[in-house]
Amino acid sequence: MASPSLHFVACNYPALGHTRPQLGLITRLIQNHSDLLITIFVYSPYVPSTRKELQALLPNLSRVRLIGVGPFSDNAGRGFESLFPAYVSLQELIPASYKEIVAGGSLTCTATGNVFDYASVPIPTIILSDLATPFAGQGIKAITPDVKLLVSWMGTTSFFIHRFGPDELGGYGSLEEKATAALVKDNLDEKSFMEVAFKFESNFKGNPLINAEDLAMFDYEIFPQDVDNASYTPVYINAAKQTNGWADGVAICSTGDFEPKARQVLQDWYEGTHGKRAFFVGPYTAPRDLSKSLDFNGDASMLLPFLESHPKQSVWLISFGTLFYPSRHPSQIETVLRTLLKTGTPFIMSVAASMYTPLPDDILREAKDRGLGLFADFLPQTAVLAHPSTGVFVSHAGVNSMFESIEANVLNVFWPMTCDQPIHAAHMTLKLDASYELIQVRTGTGAQPPKRGDIVEGTDEAIAQEIAGIVEDLKGPVGERKRRNLAAVRSQLLADLAKGGDADAEVQKLINFGTPV
């Protein structure tokens, strides 16, 4: 291609929940500007999978440069242990490579060996830095102070405020300052810092949760499962340095119409008080042609015949992704599956995340013998959701899963674990009345009475009753109402994402923000 007139850089973190929203935005940026080049820094082992994801969205990659940094390995995993080296290494690897861009030198992708010359490429004007690459963003800012650093936020507006907003908005933006002050006051060992910080974060008093969309939740409902919630505290504290410190703004993968109150709150606080910019660019969207999907493996080859053998909207898709799964309480998912079998409800389940708690043989056997269940390690999720036979999606309420199901017009049955997921589930279920949320599966702190009412019994019997109740609900007026509400949410989302829509206009505003005057 001829020399571009505009150049943006993206700092990628390879967890799919982070990668896909960022690639979705990159695709729309390229589509909205005919002379824009985007360089993406990717931890080298994940270059092949990132390229595959991107090519599904943008077949012509002539204006995208994937630069693998760090040592290459063809054994890239998606679990926390596999991703941790990327989190640590990217903070230094990216700024070191960025220096070569600024100097007009060349960069070699350590995954492919491809060499990219930057002699005739303009200095970047926008940096899209992931939540998990905060010090890479800081390093880039130190090299080129005038570059505009935007946080590439892979969550909703409400959760952005929850994590980084001030106390009065229910946010944890001052968590580091509070923990530091407590260490000094009580003369605590520095090794206790994150422990002290998490105590502030989890100091629940049973009060209503302060949140931008006025969701009916108690504070402890933000931790609905007894997972290792404390492990995320360091990530968010470091991210806050970037978000509230050296960043010039944020690109959020949600729309103003999806969260109108949160949008106004964010504009008043982040833009009005801090003088930063917020772009509500909308969620990731993906191809949905099941017959052309390349993600089949094992029993997934039977996916299309299985779906086409069942009636419209009858099949339940069960997928928790690769990082979140109720592994501490395997009887819960077993109860869900046994209840679906008992009610004659067909289902498809991704079992990639269940590697540490394999499903019982009798469930696998009965599902296969009766033609009611199909299991596979990985599934082309968006394509399965798009099939007319798929009617329900049981997920952890991750942002990608939530928006993919909305786009496909498939009702969610949410099983949130941690992070942004409880807010997503409450927003869709309580605010929009366009989904279900499982309550009887809650454990630990989250098993206290929810603000919406009801009691968490937490037994397998209670879980079975809850699932059976949803199966019946879907046949009557409650199911009809929720599907009708979901259709309205979908219609608004598609309008926002369409050319000339609200989210499309936000993408153009971002481009204008990075265009030299």
Q: What is the DSSP string of 117-168?
A: E-TTSPPPSEEEEETT-HHHHHHHHHH-TTSEEEEEE-S-HHHHHHHHS-GG
List the CATH number of the domain containing 388. Answer: 3.40.50.2000
Are residue 366 and residue 487 in the same domain, yes or no? yes
Helix or strand holding residue 25 (H, E):
helix 16-32
Are residue 378 and residue 252 in the same domain, yes or no? no
Is 61 within a domain? yes
Going by C-beta distance under 8 Å and a sequence separation of 6 or more, which residues neighbour residue 246?
137, 138, 141, 149
The answer to whether the beta carbons of residues 473 and 489 sit under 8 Å apart is no
The arrangement of strands across the sheet holding 315-318 comes to 373-376, 347-350, 315-318, 390-395, 411-414, 435-437
Supply the pLDDT for residue 298: 46
Is 30 within a domain? yes
Is 356 within a domain? yes
Is 211 within a domain? no
CA distance 43 to 50: 10
- 429 DSSP assignment: I
CA distance 222 to 329: 19
Q: What is the DSSP string of 311-331?
A: -TT-EEEE--TTT---TT-HH
Supply the pLDDT for residue 232: 87
Supply the pLDDT for residue 397: 96
Is 342 within a domain? yes
Supply the pLDDT for residue 1: 58
Closest CA to 220 of 232, 231, 235, 204: 204
- 218 DSSP assignment: B
Supply the pLDDT for residue 300: 55
Are residue 111 and residue 63 in the same domain, yes or no? yes
Quick one: tokens of 51? Answer: 């390229």
CA distance 306 to 303: 5
Is residue 49 exposed (0-12), middle (13-18) or buried (19+ Cβ within 10 Å)? middle
Confidence (pTM): 0.94
Is 152 within a domain? yes
Supply the pLDDT for residue 288: 64
Closest CA to 32 of 16, 8, 66: 8
Are residue 470 and residue 508 in the same domain, yes or no? no
Is 370 within a domain? yes
Are residue 74 and residue 19 in the same domain, yes or no? yes
The answer to whether the beta carbons of residues 283 and 28 sit under 8 Å apart is no
Are residue 10 and residue 51 in the same domain, yes or no? yes
Are residue 257 and residue 384 in the same domain, yes or no? no
Are residue 71 and residue 120 in the same domain, yes or no? yes
Q: How many residues does the chain have?
A: 517
**What parts of the chain have a pLDDT lower than 50?**
294-298
Are residue 356 and residue 366 in the same domain, yes or no? yes
Closest CA to 404 of 506, 473, 317: 317
The structural domain count of the chain equals: 2
Supply the pLDDT for residue 294: 42
Closest CA to 402 of 368, 363, 428: 428
Going by C-beta distance under 8 Å and a sequence separation of 6 or more, which residues neighbour residue 486?
406, 409, 411, 432, 434, 435
Per DSSP, the three-state class of 102 is: helix
Closest CA to 370 of 343, 409, 399: 343
Helices (DSSP H) in 326-390: which residue ranges?
A: 330-342, 361-369, 381-386
Supply the pLDDT for residue 190: 61
Q: Which domain holds residue 415?
A: 302-495
Are residue 425 and residue 325 in the same domain, yes or no? yes
Helix or strand holding residue 414 (H, E):
strand 411-414
Are residue 271 and residue 312 in the same domain, yes or no? no
Are residue 358 and residue 452 in the same domain, yes or no? yes
Is 115 within a domain? yes
